[in-house]
Structure 1
């Protein structure tokens, strides 16, 4: 890989989760120096180069390892609380040249409309004191707190780091290392073949971004000194539910019969399927149609869906058998068969 014109000294907060390792590997390949700051509770991957590791705990405010140090760039991966950005600012402000914050499209006040761009209104916090919120309070009420607290974290980033700030708002991040199994459910199910339950009419829009595309683009944003706010959603073309499934089938080559089931039927059965949201229906109907024009203009690129699917399946099948046996999203085959029988009985 070609080296960057100017090597950077990069601090990554987190770095061992989903997208962090992709940032690290790409940064090293481009010739940058990398420092990670985290609690040290998750095993670090084998890096293809030297990586400095600093330990602390943002939850308790222990940022002592960062004091008195300077970096060209700070990438903040795990933050969902504005107090964490505030505390980082107290230590890093004046000691970094560029701050990049991973946010989310969940910051938008109205997720129901298609074409959401970066200037749309943001969700409002309704609690007593956003700076007093903790990881525990957030986890206890994710539906109501996640988006508003991310929006306030963005605001705090601008307050602490000013015009040297970049806000990146991904949607569903997918690919190898995705422990949620939300997208993974679909290629795994396609690989099993046979009759498959598909929510809706197959034309509902889907947006996903490979974690590698996201992580590598953030390094390029740092290299270019690009600031501003960007929706990091993909792919670079309209993708429907059926097109996604056929894309998975092109990789697995399994015989497949798609049976489309009305959203109303699934709702009555109490079934929610990951990634998919019906268009023009519900508070998140716009999540498959978010504008990525600004990010693409800033250099965001997307690898082919087939590459993402193939690499994801290879990674998943390398996991321990007990982990593979317990997917963390979707429905099991028995439940799917029951739903299909009920649907066919109702339809005729």
Structure 2
């Protein structure tokens, strides 16, 4: 694996592990009201639930009339503020995904491991906090006798490589030399292989009752990584804006609200199997995505398209700019994964224009110091130097 590939996987880890740093309660309440009720209310356990994807899933489940229990260490919510206190249909349990550890490391009296889940029964589990197979195996094994359905949130990084365009769920998964490793390794090199092993651990504990969901980039309001957010925010800054690659380059991403709603629907339908949770319905054109960012902005920038070869020669190799990758070489298939199976199971996608608009509006609602973090990152990007070199080269 090349250094570039490892760097990009390191960026990808946040798609599943990230925590949200904001979000409007009133907007979430309005979104709930717009959704219909499920035919049968369920009791759903979410392992995690207070970061980025978790709250979107909770909102969707509450909108459908379900009752939830959130199991986690109680740490992430202190950063995100999403503890769902006051929600009558949300119960909180605490512990640690590692059966050997307490929810609070320095407090041996805090709940240990999965003990607060013992003796509990649920209609379904959504596991969005499982990163090591030993821990996924522990939770799935404990819950197998009292749970009908297990939904594990994996990652598109579970695949062995992205060399081949237009692959589906039958593509080979990543493998580790040591399947017992419990560190992500240098530049997150173990992440994909660990996700694949977690999928297998869940299926082994609950054969035929598991949905393994492999999202790509999860984006939208609340995204703490600023990867997709970079582009509508940069567009809103106006001026001359670098547009890397070609307008025809492919792109895959999914709004966190669409993914959260679909997770609830597959629980309602007891859907099982492997799924690439990548949007849009047909993969996006990079040029259309950047144009949607421009359209959402207040200060319309001028897009200057610079090809991948020139970028690499002038300090902007693949992975140095967020989200975009040239569809060639080791990245030929990165943004071309097929999503037919997930769409047949009900996954749907909102317009890219809505995602760009909502993401920019959310970003502008954040505290100034939080906004400064991304503004500083944009200022430190290779954009300015590349544009100057491009202008000089073109005379």
TM-score normalised by L of structure 1:
0.93
Using the alignment, how far apart are the partners of 1:328 and 1:166 within structure 2? 39
1:334 deviates by 7.4
Query: What are the Cα deviations for residues 68-101 of structure 1, in whole angstroms up to 9, with x where unaligned?
Result: 1111100000212111111112321211110000
Query: What are the Cα deviations for residues 32-68 of structure 1, in whole angstroms up to 9, with x where unaligned?
Result: 1100000001223446543100001114451111111
Using the alignment, how far apart are the partners of 1:232 and 1:342 within structure 2? 38
Q: Which ranges in structure 1 are unaligned for 5 or more consecutive residues?
A: none
Q: Is contact 2:243–2:304 with CA below 8 Å preserved after alignment? A: yes
Residue of structure 2 in register with 1:57 after alignment: 96
Q: 1:278 aligns with which of 315, 326, 329?
A: 326
Residue of structure 2 in register with 1:226 after alignment: 271
Residue of structure 2 in register with 1:327 after alignment: 374
| Match status 1:342 vs 2:389 | yes
Residue of structure 1 in register with 2:122 after alignment: 71
| Match status 1:84 vs 2:135 | yes
1:253 deviates by 4.9
Residue of structure 2 in register with 1:290 after alignment: 337
Q: 1:31 aligns with which of 47, 58, 65?
A: 65
Using the alignment, how far apart are the partners of 1:275 and 1:338 within structure 2? 20
Q: Which ranges in structure 2 are unaligned for 5 or more consecutive residues?
A: 1-34, 102-112
1:22–1:203: structure 2 CA closer, same or farther, 3 Å change rule? same
Using the alignment, how far apart are the partners of 1:29 and 1:331 within structure 2? 37
Residue of structure 2 in register with 1:199 after alignment: 244
After TM superposition, the structure 1 stretch with the greater mean CA deviation from structure 2, 336-345 or 65-74, is 336-345
Using the alignment, how far apart are the partners of 2:370 and 2:376 within structure 1? 12
1:328–1:122: structure 2 CA closer, same or farther, 3 Å change rule? farther
1:198 deviates by 1.2
Residue of structure 2 in register with 1:256 after alignment: 301
Q: Secondary structure at the match of 1:116?
A: coil
User: Deviation above 3 Å: which 4+ runs of structure 1?
Assistant: 45-49, 328-331
Residue of structure 2 in register with 1:113 after alignment: 164
Query: What are the Cα deviations for residues 241-282 of structure 1, in whole angstroms up to 9, with x where unaligned?
Result: 111011122222533211111222322333211111111x23
Q: 1:93 aligns with which of 136, 144, 152?
A: 144
Using the alignment, how far apart are the partners of 1:329 and 1:82 within structure 2? 37
Q: Is contact 1:112–1:284 with CA below 8 Å preserved after alignment? A: yes
Query: What are the Cα deviations for residues 14-49 of structure 1, in whole angstroms up to 9, with x where unaligned?
Result: 000111111111111211110000000122344654
| Match status 1:14 vs 2:61 | no
- For these two proteins, the number of residue pairs brought into alignment is 341
| Match status 1:215 vs 2:263 | no
Q: Is contact 1:180–1:328 with CA below 8 Å preserved after alignment? A: no
1:158 deviates by 0.9
Using the alignment, how far apart are the partners of 1:173 and 1:329 within structure 2? 22
**What does 1:127-146 correspond to in 2, within 5 Å?**
128=178, 130-131=179-180, 133-134=181-182, 137-138=183-184, 140-146=185-191
Q: 1:177 aligns with which of 222, 231, 242?
A: 222
Q: Secondary structure at the match of 1:236?
A: strand
1:201 deviates by 2.0
Q: Secondary structure at the match of 1:238?
A: strand
1:125 deviates by 1.1
